[in-house]
Every structure is written in structure tokens, then in C-alpha cells.
Amino acid sequence: MDLGINVVEMVIYLVGIIAFAAGNAAYLVWVERKGAAHIQRRTGPKEVGPFGLLQPLADGAKLMSKQIIFPDGVDKPLFMLAPLLAMVPAIMIFVTIPFSETLVARDINIGLLMIFAFASVNILALLIGGWASRNKYAVISAARAVSQNVAYEIPMLVITITIVLITGSMNLREIVASQAGPFWHWNILPTNGNFLGPITFIMFFICSLAETNRAPFDLGEAESELIAGFHTEYSSMGFGLFFMGEYANIVIGAALTTILFLGGWYSPFPETIPYLGTAGAWWFLVKMYLLIWTVVLIRWTYPRVTLWSLLNLSWKILIPFSLLNLLASAGLVKFLG
């Protein structure tokens, strides 16, 4: 292994990934606040910088200057560990995400597996944070979050296996490469040979909403029931890290959806609009941010579901249907492809 070049490359990628994750978290908050404001006919942040663009920096400075409060009886080591566990795996996941043909930190053959492995750590963070807080609301919230994530991880994995079956690879770059070409080659559309594509996509999108604890599945932090859920007792950057971790997870969810279903970095119309290029990292970002915007729209439109209907949706609808979907897709791959 040629260490000399690799170290420089690694450092660049490391800084880039952290900057990307943190920048996204900061500016998605701005997008969310501004977007929510326009949905609700308000102005939103506007004082700090033009269009309130410096608001995330002000928020960050405020959070960092605050004292971290440890309420009586908290389990201190775990209490401090939880926010880190929420943020670090999220950053780790970015390592495997290919933004374009060449722009990827580590091109790992089992990238998909690694993403799911690290994504599962997130729920541990919520559980530890809720448990260590010694607050009943936080404990209820942690219990809810665990049952929710367990319920939705299963259909999500099954759907991912479906995609792996179709594309024949667990390498994210290869999954995207198998969708090369105009938009009718993408996994979301039935024209790609798998007529179950749209259903698979919708199920995956619902699962990713639930996995990232976003409305209408934000039971873990249902503010009208559980105040702030698992991070009720967190202040300062403890809260800040949970917050950033949440947004980083939204970015990951959207990026993964883009990779698995929307043809990653490929242009939807490579021939009709040639000057936009046939592929490129910016196509990836456009698709990803459109998905994120959909997530924001959903949050500010729908009320919250209850825990039971959330679990019913997973165990009674998504899991059986994703399994059927897997069988059908396997049949298709066997007999047609």
C-alpha cells in the first residue's frame, strides 16, 4: 500500500466529509426553517445575514457557548457518550457514499452492508441518551424509538436486498452504474425490467422517513406528548450533536434513495439536454436535495401518527409486502433477467 499518497487523500476526504455533514446539518436547519416559514406564510429567519443565511452560525455559536447541564442522577459517561454516538456513525456512513463515478472516499464492495451497520448504531444513541437522562419522558421516547427502528429496519433491509438482487452488487458505485443512461433505466421505474420498482421505492421512502425519526413518524420526539423526547435533558452541544446527527441521517437517507432508485449521478435526459452533461456529482446533489425537500414538505403538512398505527404499518403492511416484493423480484430476475 502506498501510504504517502493515501494519507493525504484520506485527510482531504476526512475533512471534506466532516465539512459536508456539518455544513448540511447547519444549512438544512436553515432550509427547514425558511421552508416551514414559507409554507406557513411567515418570513422565517431574516435578521442574521442576507435572508438569514448566517442564522446557522449564530445558532451554532449560541449552542457552543451554553453550559452543558447534568441533571441530578444522570449516568454521566453514558449521558456524554450518546450525542457522540448519534453523530459519529453518521459521518462514517458518508465514507462509502459515491457522489459521482470518482468522488467517493472508499469504494467498498460491501458498502451497502456497512451503511446499514452504522445506521443501526444511531438507535443505540437514542436509547442510551434516553436511558441515561433519568427522565420518564426520555425513557418513554427511547422505548418508542427502539420499537420503531426495529420495526422499520426489517422492511428496509428486505427492500435493499431486492435492489441487490436486481443489480447484482452490494457496491454502491456498481448499483448506480447498473442504472446508467436516461431516466427509464432507473430502478424506480418499471421500464427498468422490474415492474415493482415504484412500489419498492415508495416502501423504501416510508421506511427511510421512519428510520430517521421524521414526521409523520417522529414519535421519539413528539413535542406535544413527550416534550422533546430522548433529548429533553440535553443542552448545549449535546443537544446540538443530536440535532446534527438527525439532519445527517436525513441526508444519508436521501443519498441512499438516490443511489438505489434514482440513478445516482446520471442525468435523466443525457441526449435531449447534452450540455448539462450525462453524469456528474451535481446531478446526484440535485436529486438528493429534492428528496430532502420532499421530506421537509411532508413534515410541515401532516399530523403525527400514533405508535400503534406506526407499528401496524410496518408489521402488517410493509414487512409482508416487502417480502412478497422480494419473492416477485427474485422470480423476475430468475426467469426474465
Partner 1 sequence: MSSQALSQNKERFELNLGPQHPATHGVLRVKLLMDGEYIVNAEPVLGYIHRMHELMGENRTWAQYLPNMGRLDYLSALSYNLGYVELVEKMAGIEVPERAEYIRVITTELNRISSHLLWFGAFVLDLGGFTPLLYAFDDREQILDLLEAVTGARLTYCYFRFGGCYNDVEDNFLSGTLAFIKRLRSRMPMYHNLVTKNVILMQRLEGVGPISAEMCRKYGATGPVLRGSGVNYDVRKNEPYSIYPEIDFDVPVYHECDSMARYNVRMDEIDQCMRIIEQAIAKIPEGPVMAEKVPKMIKPEPGDYYHTVEAARGSFGIRAVSDGKNQAYRMKLRSPTFSNLSLYQEASKGMLLADALALMGSLDLVIPEIDR
Smaller CB separation from partner 1, 22 or 143: 143
Smaller CB separation from partner 1, 188 or 222: 222
Tell me the three cell numbers of residue 227: 416534550
Calculate the alpha carbon distances from 214 to 34, 294, 318 in Å: 17, 12, 17
75's torsion region: left (phi>0), alpha (psi -120 to 50) or beta?
Answer: beta
Closest approach of partner 1 to the CB of residue 133, in Å:
14
Smaller CB separation from partner 1, 191 or 309: 309
- State the DSSP code for 279: B
Is 137 among the residues that bind partner 1 (CB under 8 A)?
yes
Smaller CB separation from partner 1, 147 or 278: 147
Closest approach of partner 1 to the CB of residue 126, in Å:
17
Rounded to the nearest 10 degrees, the angle between the axes of helix 236-261 and helix 3-39 is: 100
Closest approach of partner 1 to the CB of residue 208, in Å:
18
Segment interacting with partner 1, rule: CB under 8 A, options 87-95, 109-117, 138-146, 287-295: 138-146
Closest approach of partner 1 to the CB of residue 287, in Å:
26
Closest approach of partner 1 to the CB of residue 144, in Å:
8
- Number of residues near partner 1 (by CB under 8 A): 28
Please check whether residue 242 is in contact with residue 129, taking contact to mean a CB–CB distance below 8 angstroms: yes
Smaller CB separation from partner 1, 195 or 302: 302
Smaller CB separation from partner 1, 4 or 303: 303
Residues numbered 200 to 219 that lie near partner 1 (CB under 8 A) are 215-216, 218
Query: Residue 266 in 3-state DSSP?
Result: strand
Closest approach of partner 1 to the CB of residue 52, in Å:
18
Compute the CA torsion angle 17, 21, 24, 26 (nearest 10 deg).
-130
Residues numbered 220 to 249 that lie near partner 1 (CB under 8 A) are 222-225, 227
Residues numbered 290 to 309 that lie near partner 1 (CB under 8 A) are 300-309
Sort 248 into a burial class: Cβ within 10 Å, 0-12 / 13-18 / 19+.
buried
Closest approach of partner 1 to the CB of residue 136, in Å:
5
Sort 127 into a burial class: Cβ within 10 Å, 0-12 / 13-18 / 19+.
buried
Smaller CB separation from partner 1, 109 or 309: 309
Residue type, 140: I
Residues numbered 55 to 94 that lie near partner 1 (CB under 8 A) are none
- β-strand partners of 279: 266
- β-strand partners of 88: none
Smaller CB separation from partner 1, 99 or 137: 137
Sketch the per residue contact string, 253 through 292, with partner 1: x for CB under 8 A, - otherwise. Answer: ----------------------------------------
What is the number of residues in the chain?
A: 337
Query: Residue 76 in 3-state DSSP?
Result: helix
Helices vs. strands in the chain: H and E counts, helices first = 12, 0
Closest approach of partner 1 to the CB of residue 44, in Å:
12
| Separation CA 272–CA 295 (nearest Å) | 29
Closest approach of partner 1 to the CB of residue 68, in Å:
22
- Encode burial over 67-84: b for 16+ CB neighbours within 10 A, e otherwise: eeebeeebeeeebbbbbe
Residues numbered 10 to 49 that lie near partner 1 (CB under 8 A) are 36, 39-42
The residues binding partner 1 (CB under 8 A) are: 36, 39-42, 136-137, 140, 143-144, 215-216, 218, 222-225, 227, 300-309
